[in-house]
Structure formats: structure tokens, C-alpha cells
Amino acid sequence: MTTGTSPRTLFRKLWDSHLVGTSDGLSQIYIDRHLVHEVSSPQAFEALRDAARPLWRRESILAVPDHNVPTTDRTTGVPEGLSKVQLDTLNNNAVSNGLRYFPLSDVRQGIVHVVGPEQGFTLPGLTVVCGDSHTTTHGALGCLAFGIGTSEVEHVMATQTVFMPLPKTMRVSFRGEIGRGVSAKDMALFFIGRVGTSGAAGHVIEFDGEAVTALSIEGRMTLCNMSIEAGARAAMVAVDEKTIAYVKGRPLAPTGAMWNKAVTQWQELVSDAGASFDSELFIEADVIAPQVTWGTSPDMVGAVSDRIPDPQEVEDPTRRADLARALAYMGLQPHSSLGDLRVDHVFIGSCTNSRIEDLRAAAQIVEGRRVSSHVRQALVVPGSGLVAEQAAREGLDKVFIDAGFQWRAPGCSMCLGMNGDEVGAGERCASTSNRNFEGRQGDRGRTHLVSPQMAAAAAIAGTFVDLREGWLPT
Ligand SMILES: CC(C)[C@H](C(=O)O)[C@@H](O)C(=O)O
Ligand code: SF4
């Protein structure tokens, strides 16, 4: 990669190296990798077929079913209905186009944003798209990754490019260290609480600072994953030794001389000293407490020990009405405490928090304890078959099962409830996923977003607890 004369951000380096041309104020960007799942791809395949247009570069595609897949017994197949239609359609499209494809029976199947990095399909320096908003996840590996709409899925399949305006850049620096019991998920929720759901709209974020450097690649993925909930177009973390160590040896990573060449290039994937960003935000990491959302958007969040806010104390009438509606939906009283709530469901999973590190963190809390008798269902849904295998090698499945959790097969599951794993009306769920919108996990279901450790503790206590008060291993 060549360096220009003025210092460039990491984003700008990736943008410049993929720019094909400009037209009507839009830039045409070359796309290296295209992830495909069953929900946002059927129309695209159909439109190409109707137009008799071939795929531009089928090697750039990895297809995997995730949203609709059953997480219980798969040997009996998928019941008739929309889910089955979408899964069968993906299967037909993948097979007829000769795509790299991990069907339900393949141990590599899982949530698209877990599978891409795990396989080394996502690599530093690339452009990565998927018809899915949480594609921002992949930026943790120092690539430019963003979600696209269904018509763009078709456009990428046909041309290997997208047209888009030049995004703005935002640097979010987490200075210092996070405390014990605080994770990347809490950093993400804290950040969203600070800037709001459109605080990063139109921007590509670069996360940096000591607390980000200290995160594992899995933690960085959690952080980048949730950046979309602040409205960001994409998010990224610069390449360092951890990035390279993570990629090394992955099935689709380069090998031999190509590996050495790649590493030399990847080491350039940092923002140059003195590069300027359109906006900058500094967060002191040590002020972040374990977070819990109490409302119906991810920015309605606070520390677990905080009291529920009072709409009467909010001056802006729109904000006051939003707050009142959220509290009514969530069945919460102003000034009440999260610790007084009873949790009916616990969901440990989703593309935010279903990687091996997340399961390890949750299992540490669960080990030797029992799920509270009034928790109706506590699910652990690993992000991929390979995560599940690794967890089983470490005995984590047994830790969860012995405590009363259900150990499920990989998929999106209760994150959005498309496969039947749902939260019932009026029921409350401590969930490691990323969205708490009305009805997200089931009609009139109530979602509280938390970290894997917080979800694990909520399962045991039957309510929300501050992990730092006697829950952490000594
Ligand atoms: C179904 C899919 C298009 C959607 C998304 O874009 O994010 C889903 O993954 C979600 O999390 O709501
Ligand atoms: S796990 Fe949830 S957020 Fe992630 S892709 Fe699936 S439905 Fe979307």
C-alpha cells in the first residue's frame, strides 16, 4: 500500500486503495469479500437470474444460514414455513452458483459475523460487505466492513462494487484500563449511551486507546459490532500483533511467501501520526461500570446500580414521551432499581457475544452455581459449530448444562426470534445481543442488553446484580 504525502487515517488508506472512480458525488468502491445469509440474499439471486447476469466473482462470496436455523434437534429438518423457504432458497442458490457454503450439517456453520473472521475469510486491509447491519463487526481486524441493503447485495454480486458517499471519520479513544467485571460489551453500551443512537451517523469510527489495545480480537469485534447501534457506517481497530496472531493459521488465511507479504502490508494498516478525524471522543475507561439497558433502544442504558430515570425530570417533550413509552413497554417504574426485577429468560449468544471468549467469561460466573428457579429458560447459543466444539473441549458445555442452562446449536436464535426461540409477552430477558427494540425478541418481550458475565450472573441470581459485589472469581 502506498502512503500519500499527508498523514492518512486507517479508513482513508482502505478507501483510497479500493476506490474505482467517482460519479455524481458518489464513490465506487471495490468489494473484496461478500458474506451472504438466507434473509437478505434471495431477491438478489433471483434478480440476477432473471436478468441472466452472472456473478462477477463467486470466490468473493461465503454463504451461510444463520437467522432462521433451528437451535434444537436438527436431524428432523426445518418445519414448513417462511424459515424453511429461505433456508432452501439459500441452499439452492449456493449450490447452483457453486459458492463456498456451510450448510446446517457443516460444523463450520454459524452466525455470518462469527464465521467470516473464524475462517480467515475476513482479513485485514479488505473491504467486506454483507446484507446485514452488523457487518461492522469485521472492522475489528483492520478492514473496512459495512452492511448493505438487498439491492446493493445484487449490485455487488453483479459488479463487485458499491456506490457510496465518502463517510466522515470519528476517533473514539478509550483511555486507561477498564475495571474487573467490565468488558468490551460494557464499553460499547457506555459509548452508545454517551453519543445516542445517531451519534455516529454517517461516520466510520476508529476505536483506539489503551483499553481497546488491551482487548482481545473477540472483544474488539464486540465493540465494532455494536457501533451500528450508534448509527456508524463502519468501525475499525488498527492492525497490531494481536490481529496478525488471530489471523495466522485460519483456513482461508494466506500461507508461505504470501503470508509474509501480507503481514508486511497489514503492518501499514494504522492511522498515520497526525492524521485528522472529523470528530474525536475521549472516554476514561475506568469510569465504566457493568451496563444494563433499561429501555427500548440501546442508548437507554446505565450502570447496573443506577436507578431507572424519571420522565418527569426530562425537559425535552419528545424525549420525555419516548422515555415514558419505553418505561411502560418495559414495565418499569421511575426511580426503581434494576436489582428488583425478575428475569424470565437469559440469552447468551448473538454476533455480539457468542465467541469462545464470551462463553469462557460467562462459564466462569456460572461454574458450581445453579440457574435461579424462576428463570424460565436460560440459553447458551454458540456463534458457530467450531465455537461449540472448542467450548466442549474446554468442558464449558458441561458447566452450563450442570447449572441448568440449555446448550443449543449455533445461529442467531433469540437475538431476533426468527427461528422460534422467543421471549414471551411481558417476559423479561437478560440478553447478550445488541438490540432491545420493542418486539425484537418476541411480541411484547422485554430485552435488557448486558455482557456475557452479567447475563450469567442474572441467570443465577434471577435478577440483575453488580458483578463486582462478590461474583467475580478470586
Ligand atoms: C435480517 C438482517 C437483515 C438484520 C440486519 O440487517 O441486521 C438482522 O441481522 C438484525 O440484526 O436485525
Ligand atoms: S445475531 Fe442478531 S444481530 Fe447478529 S446477525 Fe443475527 S439477528 Fe442480526
Q: What is the pLDDT of residues 48-64, one digit of tens each?
A: 999 999 999 999 999 99
412 is in an annotated binding site: yes
Q: Does the pLDDT at position 1 exceed 80? A: no
**DSSP class per residue in 4-69:** -SS---HHHHHHHHHEEEEETTEEEEE--EEEE-TTTSHHHHHHHHHTTPPPS-GGGEEE---SS-
* Ligand 1 close to Cβ of residue 132 (< 6 A): yes
Residues of the chain with pLDDT > 70, as a percent, come to 99
Kindly report the average pLDDT of the chain as a whole number. 97
Ligand 1 closest atom vs CA 440: 12
For 168-217, write each residue's pLDDT tens digit.
Answer: 999 999 999 999 999 999 999 999 999 999 999 999 999 999 999 999 99
pLDDT band of residue 4 (cuts 50, 70, 90) is low
Is the minimum distance from the CB of 33 to ligand 1 under 6 angstroms?
A: no
8 Å CB contact between 64 and 410: no
Neighbours of 240 (CB within 10 A): 16
**Cα of 133 from ligand 1 centre, angstroms:** 6
Instruction: Give the C-alpha separation, 350 to 335, whole Å.
Output: 31
Pocket test for ligand 1, best of 86, 132, 354 (most atoms within 8 A of CB): 132
The ligand 1 atom at the shortest distance from the C-alpha of residue 131 is: 3
Judge contact between 117 and 220, C-beta under 8 A. Answer: no
Which H or E run includes 146? strand 144-147
Is 291-461 a CATH 3.40.50.970 domain?
Answer: no
Of 401, 371, 462, 450, whose CA–CA distance to 181 is shortest?
A: 450
> What 8-state DSSP symbol labels residue 220?
H
pLDDT bucket at 127, cuts 50 / 70 / 90: very high
DSSP 8-state symbol, 160: S
For the chain, the structural domain boundaries read 10-280, 291-461
Side-by-side strand order, sheet with 144-147: 100-101, 61-63, 33-36, 127-130, 144-147
* 3.40.718.10, 3.30.390.50, 3.30.499.10, 2.30.30.30: CATH of 10-280: 3.30.499.10
Run of H or E residues at 365:
helix 356-366
Residue 79, burial from CB neighbour count under 10 angstroms (0-12, 13-18, 19+): exposed
Task: Decide: helix, strand or coil at residue 364.
Answer: helix
For 335: left if phi > 0, alpha if psi spans -120 to 50, otherwise beta; the answer is left
Where do we find the cell 475499525? 236
Half-sphere exposure of 18 (CA within 13 A, CB side): 26
State yes or no: 224 annotated in a binding site. no
Answer whether residue 2 shows pLDDT above 60. no
C-alpha distances (whole Å) from 82 to each of 47, 91, 111, 247, 421 are 20, 14, 19, 36, 15
pLDDT of residue 318: 96
Distances (CA, A) of 213 to 62, 217, 218, 246, 424: 29, 9, 12, 14, 40
- For the CA of 71, the nearest ligand: 2
Whether the CA torsion 402, 405, 406, 410 is positive or negative: it is negative
Q: Give 401-437 pLDDT, tens digit per residue.
A: 999 999 999 999 999 999 999 999 999 999 999 999 9
